[in-house]
Amino acid sequence: MIEFRNITKTFNAVTVIEGLNLIVERGEFCVLIGPSGSGKSTILRMINRLIEHSAGEIRFAGEPIRSFAPEVLRRRIGYAIQSVGLFPHWTVEANIATVPRLLGWDAARIEARIAELMALLGLDAARFRTAYPHQLSGGQQQRVGVARALAADPDVLLMDEPFGALDPITRDSLQAEMRRIHAETGKTIVFVTHDMDEALRLASRVVILDKGRIVQSATPRELLHAPANDFVREFLGKDDYGLKLLSVETAGAHMRREDSGAVAEAVREQDSLRLALSHMVALKTDRLGVEDSTGRRVGLLLLADIVT
Amino acid sequence: MAIHNRPLCLLALLLLVGALALPFLSHAPNRLISGQPVPLWTLGSGAWLVLLPGLALLAGPFLPQRRRTVGLLALAALLLLVGLVHAAALGAELLAQDAGRAARTSFGAGFWVMALAAVLALADLVARAGPGPVLRLVIGLAAALPILAMVLSGHLDQLSILKEYANRADQFQAALLRHAVIVLAALLPTLAFGVPLGVLAHRRRRLGASILSGLNLVQTVPSIAIFGLLIAPLSALATLVPAARALGISGIGLAPAVIALTLYSLLPIVRNTAAGLAQVPASAIDAARGMGMTRRQVFWKVEAPLALPVFLSGLRITVVQAIGLAAVAALIGAGGLGAIMFQGLFSNALDLILLGALPIIAFAALADALFKAAVDLSKRGSA
């Protein structure tokens, strides 16, 4: 879907990206992560030509991005940023309709799309449709920002630390929404963050960057089990490394297919082992039931199975 | 007794002084002789009754300033202001009964002090009640329209300011029109040059800084000096270029007035255009570009509407300032209400000065109120 071929970027004779090669496949949730100054935002903004690359070629849907007019390219790529950037003088619905209007959709199609997106992002249309951004909480604003980025059904969604300014609880729920939206829509998403937990939680692939170079590109599991070098190990953290390992494993994959009728409390199949462990500690127990998404018991999870 | 509104307390004291210690009107057998003071209590009960709302304002400072109380007090201040004009008219009619046609009745110090106190009390109380932009305009009209009606119906004809007007009705109307022409003629080039300069100042910060410091320098030159400085080059231009003379350009008159006014008006327009654009959130512009708006769309859909309130408050300052400065332009033969004012100044006729000055004040106040409402309305949705 997106391909970087030997990309270099220099700002005022300072090279910030050097010889970058990266392919983001269709449907991937690709998270770029690195310390500040690692070039992650620059890479993201080169995709929609908000920043022009200095050398090499970037391809979008098989075509070099410079074969598109910048506006045409950008209208095919959703864009959500940390500061949200809602237009304060437009209502929520007008904000969401920005790109469809630029593309000249008819009114009925725009109406239907706004309703669909507000439902997708869990925004109460009756309350918020005609509200102005300043009447919304930070979390609600970012929901509108994501809805706006998705409005014209873009092939690719670019997100630059979209949840970085939110409180932990709101961030948690928006991360869950993004996982669900990614599963439901199958969009290709390129997501920038500096929060490793967020990367491990969301990514189908994590790309770790340092000083404009890719240090490691791997699935969250591969990354945790085989960090490429000390920089990656350091970035993964020492104190809660074990918990991070648990966070990429699901209860479903580690349970025993045994009857758990005798155990009162349960977690879901797709819940992480980290969550299961937390429940066990809180409940002072060494076993939990496991249920599927419909609430039916499918197995039993023991503390010993988590640790081994 | 607790005082709940200190400014109103001071204004109430001012009202008492104005009513009891200062002459309400001043009366003279003709306009050459200085007037004799006419205290309020000599004017009979008709004049007294219309001032009753003033009693509410005397009690006002000691009442808890709830919204409804403040609203009622504002109404009292408004009624008092209209009542003061009415009382002056009644007094002038009373005094005219046993005096010749040449007799002159002018507002006295007591009238001015009480009128000032009423206007300030109204402003203070309206600010406390915090009405919306539309209601504020309605309040302004509620004060202005009855007074205007009294002027137009002939109720005030016995006051000397209107006698001066009666003698010069044609000159006054021509001056009024001329004043408006000077202000509008200066406004057009101001907007035509000022807005692009403001956009430029915003986009090129360093250039913008020099533009603004240049315009600041202009602002420090006294208006009279600018008018004087323009006489020589413009007369030279008119002598050397016949086409310029054909356009009516000369060292004195409309041309230097419009040029000087434009020079003064540029600063607030350029500064506020640039400031308005500068306070547009960078994130909104980044998002607009990232979603595929063209440069033009970013400017017209995002930057311009978000800069509008600040731009309009610049325009407000410009218009109010130009209405005032246009008065000074009378000194270089540009005409306008200033001409009447200076005629009064040079012949020591106070009422003639007022005939020029009061409409200027009224227009400036009207422009101020209208633009304030426009600024508030343009802010909707982005509080």
Shared-domain flag, residues B145 and B237: no
Is residue A87 within 8 A of residue A95, CB to CB? The reply is yes
* pLDDT above 80 (res B169): yes
pLDDT tens across A48-80, in order? Answer: 999 999 999 999 999 999 999 999 999 999 999
pLDDT tens across B195-235, in order? Answer: 999 999 999 988 888 989 988 888 888 877 877 788 878 77
pLDDT tens across B109-118, in order? Answer: 889 999 999 9
Look at residue B383 in the predicted model and tell me its pLDDT: 47
Shared-domain flag, residues B274 and B234: yes
Shared-domain flag, residues B145 and B208: no
Number of domains in chain B: 2
Interchain proximity B381–A102, CB inside 8 Å: no
Shared-domain flag, residues B75 and B102: yes
Shared-domain flag, residues B96 and B194: no
Shared-domain flag, residues A67 and A100: yes
> A70 to chain B, minimum CA–CA distance in Å?
7
Shared-domain flag, residues B186 and B100: no
Q: Of A199, A218, A239, which residue is a domain's last?
A: A239
A99 → closest Cβ in B286, B291, B381: B291
* pLDDT above 70 (res B188): yes
Shared-domain flag, residues A140 and A273: no
Nearest CA in chain A to B308: A89
Give the span between the Cα atoms of B28 and A115, in whole angstroms: 78
A85 → closest Cβ in B281, B294, B305: B281
Question: Residue B381: pLDDT band by 50, 70, 90 thresholds?
Answer: low
Range of the domain at A269: 249-307
Domain at A298, CATH number: 3.90.1280.20
For residue B274, the cross-strand partners are none
> Per residue in A114-139, is it b (16+ CB within 10 Å) or e — as a string?
beebbebbebeeeebbebbbeebeeb
SS3 (DSSP) at A192: strand
* pLDDT above 60 (res B382): no
Chain B interface, best mutation among A89, A136, A141, by max B CB count within 10 A: A89
Range of the domain at B108: 6-160
* pLDDT above 80 (res B150): yes
What is the residue-averaged pLDDT of chain B? Answer: 86
In a domain, A84, yes or no: yes
CA dihedral angle for residue B97, residue B98, residue B99, residue B105, rounded to 10 degrees: -60
Chain B residues at the A interface, defined by Cβ less than 8 Å, are 281-294, 297, 301-302, 305-306, 381-383
Half-sphere exposure of B244 (CA within 13 A, CB side): 14
Nearest CA in chain B to A51: B290
Chain A interface, best mutation among B291, B303, B379, B382, by max A CB count within 10 A: B291
Give the span between the Cα atoms of B179 and B158, in whole angstroms: 27
Shared-domain flag, residues B359 and B287: yes
Give the span between the Cα atoms of B106 and B115, in whole angstroms: 14
SS3 (DSSP) at A164: coil
Q: Does A15 touch chain B (CB under 8 A)?
A: no
ipTM over 0.95: no
For residue A78, the cross-strand partners are A157
Shared-domain flag, residues A7 and A118: yes
Residues of B in contact with A142 (CB under 8 A): none
| Residue (of A155, A228, A167, A236) closest to A195 by Cα position | A236
Interchain proximity A85–B286, CB inside 8 Å: yes
In a domain, B383, yes or no: no
Shared-domain flag, residues A235 and A274: no
- Find residues 222-261 of chain A whose CB sits inside 8 Å of chain B: none
| Residue (of B94, B268, B257) closest to B197 by Cα position | B268
Shared-domain flag, residues A229 and A104: yes
Residues of chain B by 3-state class (helix, strand, coil), percent to 5: 80, 5, 20
pLDDT tens across B85-98, in order? Answer: 988 888 888 888 77
Shared-domain flag, residues B144 and B250: no
Domain at B365, CATH number: 1.10.3720.10
